[in-house]
Amino acid sequence: MRSSVAENEIQQRKAWNVLVYLAGVALVFIVLLVRLFFLQYIHYDENVQRSDNNRLRKVDLIANRGFIYDRNGEVLVRNRPSYQIALQATSLPRKKEARDSVFNKLLQIRDKSGERLFDSLSLDTAFQRTRWIKNRPIRFFEDASPEQVAVVEEHSSELPGVVTLIESRREYPYGTLASHVLGYTSEISDEQLKLPEYAGYSQGDRIGQKGLEQYYDKEFRGKDGLKLVEVNASGREVGVYSDVEGQEPVPGLHLISTLDLKLQKVAEAAIPDSARGALVALDPRTGEILAMVSSPRLDPNIFSLKRRERNKGWAHVALDSMRPLTNRAISGTYPPASVFKLVTAGAGLENGLLSEYKYYPKACTGGYQYGTRYQKCWGTHGNLNVVHALRLSCDVFFYQAGLDIDMERINEFGRRFGLGEELLGVDIPGERPGWLPDSVSFNKRNKRNGWRWARGLILNLSIGQGQIVTPLQQAVLVGSLATNKGVYRPHFMKELRDEQGNVVKRYEPEIIRSGTMKESTHRVLMHAMDSVVNHPGGTGKRGALPGIRVGAKTGSGEWKRGQKTHAWYAAVAPLENPEIAVAVIMEAAGGGGAVSAPIAKKVLMEYFHIEDPK
């Protein structure tokens, strides 16, 4: 009896266990069915999207950046293909062990010479960035050679998430030529991304950083396109997804500049790279800049190199005490020296305080006594009128003229022809203003030093020692004095054209200052500028040209006691109908007539196609 009861209990327990097991199995199936229902119906669209994301990838099609040409159609800036090796975050293995395996295999890759191709620091940084950057490739090896790309492709099956990109990099075929005008491109910085003018840009974008590249960056960039591609399990592209139509990129605009390549080459050759100086040549009738040089120069191609080489090149120019990154033509500020005597003379003539027939009581005997102060002249010139005083650049004549005319009238005349604190508005960044001091601005500027305005300061100011100008301002000054038809905004952009060569925008010359004077004033100033170059005793006679009438003014700017002066020369030609104005400054080089005039002469000879008799 007892044994039958025990057997019943055992049978019931077995039946119960089977029932529990079956219930468990049923529950699992119910859960699976519910999950399948959610996946197939409730989250269907979402899962299809996820599947496509694993199979498909959005690829940005970067628009080709527009070229820069000279005025005659010669290419000054273009693009070249560049291979980049990068990580695609969405295709990298998710497990740490697998990611580490990719990392280590990359470190083991060597080039033909046996050197390790990738450094661990760049790789580690790239892998770290994949944690928060998912939607675009992260470059860790730039500007790879075809041989280096081939080595990576050989190991592609072992490197899921490692991709090769073909991009374009800027190329400057003439190296340092016009480098300060053209500028360069580099990757946008974190600080720039925060600025409103860079809204719509992304980390990794390459943008213009100086010169025309920066000023016309939006015009050069064009509009990027987009395509969908199918990828395999390793993240490699296997084809274009044809079910969705992509968006073709729109190339950037090409800029036809006002620069003349031949003239620029001559100007660059005339100023050695070991010297500090600047040159500006422009057409005073329109404001078109024909050539601009700042020395020493830099090669913008360094910013298109691999990171290590780029950093090395950047450190070299950034730490150079001669400041090759500074565009001295628009950012260098100097005393105008005796070139400013044209302004003093013009103000006197315009206000009836000077004439061709006026002689001051005190002849030049080598200096001028003003109160207890004796102000020297560079020579002994005797009794002069304004034309002779400009030809010989006599300081004593202009000491007296400055006291007679006063700074208010002198400054007004200077501002009328492009000098002063208001920018000329040239279309490259970095232009600095000049300064024409009067009692108010002088006291404000020198308040910290405790200096106060005194009438005796007019002696120095009347000969251009104490004001601030840029080489661009000096070229604009002499050019507009010669034309007497207004000051035109200096500019580099002549036209913007699309990929098909259609003109999208053409620059229209713009008058920004009145730049006119009485005909009698103009006649005397032109007579004086003619005399400076074409009279045997003129200080600028080394700038004379055969068959072309050149007018000019020389200057020697004092800047530090015991040092050679800055050498100024500013000229226009032909004087009777000016087509070109040239301003040259050579820092701490001596006299303008001896040093800078021959430089300007070379530029003018090229412009007028005059053969050098030597």
Residue of 93 and 260 predicted with greater confidence:
260
Give per-residue pLDDT as tens, 99-110: 889 899 998 888
Task: Encode pLDDT of 110-168 as tens digits.
Answer: 877 888 888 888 888 888 888 888 777 888 888 888 888 888 888 888 888 888 888 88
pLDDT digits (tens, 9 = 90+) for 343-385: 999 999 999 999 999 999 999 999 999 999 999 999 999 999 9
pTM of the model: 0.85
State pLDDT tens for residues 418-447: 999 999 999 999 999 999 999 999 999 998
pLDDT for 212-250, tens place per residue?
Answer: 999 999 999 988 887 776 666 555 555 555 555 668 889
Q: Which of 292, 268, 65 is nearest to 184 (CA)?
A: 65
Looking at residue 27, its pLDDT comes to 79
- Who has greater pLDDT, 26 or 150? 150
What is the per-residue pLDDT across 529-575, written as a single tens digit (0 to 9) for each? 999 999 999 999 999 999 999 999 999 998 888 889 999 999 999 99
- 442 and 421 Cβ atoms separated by less than 8 Å: no
pLDDT at 30: 82
Facing residues of 187 across strands?
206
Report the distance separating Cα 407 and Cα 439, nearest Å.
9
- pLDDT at residue 144 in the model: 86
By DSSP bridging, strand 254-257 and strand 68-69 are parallel
Chain mean pLDDT for the chain? 89
Which residue, 266, 271, 76, is CA-closest to 181? 76
Give the pLDDT score at 283: 98
Q: What is the mean pLDDT of residues 317-327?
A: 81
- Residue bearing tokens 């994301």: 53
> Which whole number is the average pLDDT over 495-501?
95
Q: Do 537 and 554 touch, CB atoms closer than 8 A?
A: no
**81 has pLDDT over 70:** yes
Give the span between the Cα atoms of 504 and 311, in whole angstroms: 37
What span, in angstroms and rounded, lies between the C-alpha atoms of 27 and 116? 57
Residue that wins the pLDDT comparison between 301 and 498: 498
Strands (E) located in 541-596: 551-557, 566-573, 580-586
Name residues whose C-beta falls within 8 Å of residue 560's C-beta, 6 or more positions apart in sequence.
none
- Contact criterion met (CB below 8 Å) for 222 and 216: no
Longest dimension (CA), the chain: 155
The dihedral built from the CA positions of residue 25, 31, 34 and 35, taken in this order, carries a sign that is negative
Q: What percent of the chain shows pLDDT beyond 90?
A: 59
Name the pLDDT band for 17 (thresholds 50, 70, 90): confident
User: How confident is the model at residue 50, as a pLDDT?
Assistant: 45
The answer on pLDDT for 86 being more than 80 is yes
pLDDT(587) > 90: yes
Question: Is residue 20 pLDDT above 80, yes or no?
Answer: no
Q: What whole-number distance in Å separates Cα of residue 284 and Cα of residue 264? A: 17
pLDDT at position 243 is 55
| Number of alpha helices (DSSP H) and beta strands (DSSP E) in the chain | 22, 21
In whole angstroms, give the CA distance from residue 517 to residue 96.
79
Residue 306 has pLDDT above 80, yes or no: no
Instruction: Give the pLDDT confidence of 203-213 residue by residue, as tens digits.
Output: 778 899 999 99
Q: What is the pLDDT of residues 589-605, one digit of tens each?
A: 999 999 999 999 999 99
Phi-psi region of 79 (alpha: psi -120 to 50; beta: other; left: phi over 0): beta
pLDDT band at 526 (very low <50, low <70, confident <90, very high): very high
Contacts of residue 437, Cβ cutoff 8 Å, sequence gap at least 6 = 407, 445, 457, 461, 466, 467
Residue 56 pLDDT greater than 70, yes or no:
no
Lowest mean pLDDT among 212-221, 316-325, 397-406, 469-478: 316-325
Q: From its phi and psi, is residue 428 left (phi > 0), alpha (psi between -120 and 50) or beta? A: beta
